[in-house]
Structure 1
């Protein structure tokens, strides 16, 4: 395979969302190009908010092959969004609700068979209880790892506690926002501390050990992280991706470029005309 197993299906296409905010008539054909490119195995579904569904179905280029509905407005958005998505291939739903029990109940009652779902969990003291509610359900946890303000970025310790808490409960998760680049860094324009998605992958390998996870999240050497990624066994890769299933990124190109720069992903050589 061209794309190593550690990165297959890792990048959900959030081109419509901040800070990218790509216009929908541009985002749809760009997604189609990603899905037909040599790195297509790395690309997940096209993420779309409930308010953009009517616009999406009217795009002349045609709807994406698979979409995931992002519903930040609570469980009351679920039924209308599913109805508005009629005719689209809905691969997943990402639901945020102040009451995780309400979200789980709504998904259990309304989610069509074969459609995956993730519930965005609150940060702060209520997180362990929310993880307990979600554990044992068919749904993933979703955790916000960045945003448009410094406070939207959890610390290494906070994110490590989330990752370890999920591992303790056998709960798979996805992340959203702030993970465009592979390695932890300070943004030179905003000064925000960004987690790296390669850091998160290696932190996921720590399982329920929050201390080891925090150490992996804090590492800023791309060379060290790349070496550690290469040393993962097939079994470890399977475990990591069973835990950390995907993250939303408004750029598909940036994470791929980072992996290539670290020597972790190589584009196939162009075929010569015969």
Structure 2
């Protein structure tokens, strides 16, 4: 049961931190739910008291045509909001057509909030231009792979395009998976957060962030990153321009007592950011993260004793 965050505090730091933080990715491992079940879950979540923490429903563009039977479950007050994952560069036109068909079918009962794109290790600048052209006004997040040097090259290419574009392309970082080798080191995660923030790019995360605080988990036989760690590090990076070593220290911290929410601020050790700063960082830099569970993260967060003061009733 949620004990501290089941009421949205009007001016509380945890509210700014958690608002639309979790994109629901129930179709993806380890949950890997059938579409009907995942849609049913999302429908339940948007009608629940914690709906303010919920972002879009994450779906591959290749499965958009499967959504038609569920249109009657949504309306303009409770729409099916999507974050759509494109597949390969050679199919982008077809997948954009599928997005347009979804919008025509759902009308005001559906929307597309963002587009996510996996990139090859070596990115062709012309592909980024094509991506910018075809995705219109949708926010775009590019998932990168490769060495640190290849990632720097990609970040520079995205930054260069953003300088001449009417829109801004951001970055997507994978934080885990179903095997230990899919979890990036804190050093690598800190590097990408730091370099992304330096270039003024937005970032979102996906996978492996089921738990608030970094911890060892038997199911993957490794330590999983905590979403409180990741977003505290990202918010501090944006608001305080902290050194990469400090970003890494926040990511590595397994002691929840080093994190604290008051009604006005979030603190990690001696670093503090206000509610207004959290809101700005979440809006302009640290967007959200995809999770195949909406229940687990918020319930575990509610169990932590990191909230100072009681929620307004």
Residues 21-67 of structure 1: CA deviation (Å, up to 9, x unaligned): 11111111211221121211211111101222122223375465211
TM-score by length of 1: 0.89
Look up the SS of the partner of 2:32 in the other structure: coil
Alignment gaps of 5+ in structure 1: 270-274
**Contact (CA 8 Å) 1:50, 1:77: kept in 2 or not?**
no
**Contact (CA 8 Å) 1:13, 1:47: kept in 2 or not?**
yes
**Contact (CA 8 Å) 1:95, 1:119: kept in 2 or not?**
yes
State yes or no: 1:58 paired with 2:64: no
Residue 229 of structure 1 deviates from its aligned partner by 3.0
**Contact (CA 8 Å) 2:266, 2:274: kept in 1 or not?**
no
- Tell which has more relative contact order, 1 or 2 (C-alpha 8 A, sep 6+): 2
Alignment of 1:79-90 (within 5 A): 79-85=93-99, 86-88=101-103, 89-90=111-112
State yes or no: 1:165 paired with 2:201: no
User: 1-side partners of 2:34 and 2:203: how far apart?
Assistant: 28
Question: Measured at CA, do residues 181 and 60 of structure 1 come closer, stay the same or move farther in structure 2, by a change above 3 Å?
Answer: same
**Paired residue for 2:228, among 187, 198, 216?**
198
**Paired residue for 2:290, among 231, 248, 263?**
248
**Contact (CA 8 Å) 2:65, 2:102: kept in 1 or not?**
no
User: 2-side partners of 1:256 and 1:123: how far apart?
Assistant: 32
TM-score by length of 2: 0.78
Look up the SS of the partner of 2:278 in the other structure: helix
**Paired residue for 1:34, among 45, 48, 51?**
45
In structure 2, the residue matched to 1:142 is 172
**Contact (CA 8 Å) 1:140, 1:173: kept in 2 or not?**
yes
The aligned length equals: 267
In structure 1, the residue matched to 2:204 is 174
State yes or no: 1:214 paired with 2:214: no
Look up the SS of the partner of 2:266 in the other structure: helix
In structure 1, the residue matched to 2:108 is none
Alignment gaps of 5+ in structure 2: 1-6, 10-14, 104-110, 163-167
User: 1-side partners of 2:311 and 2:59: how far apart?
Assistant: 29
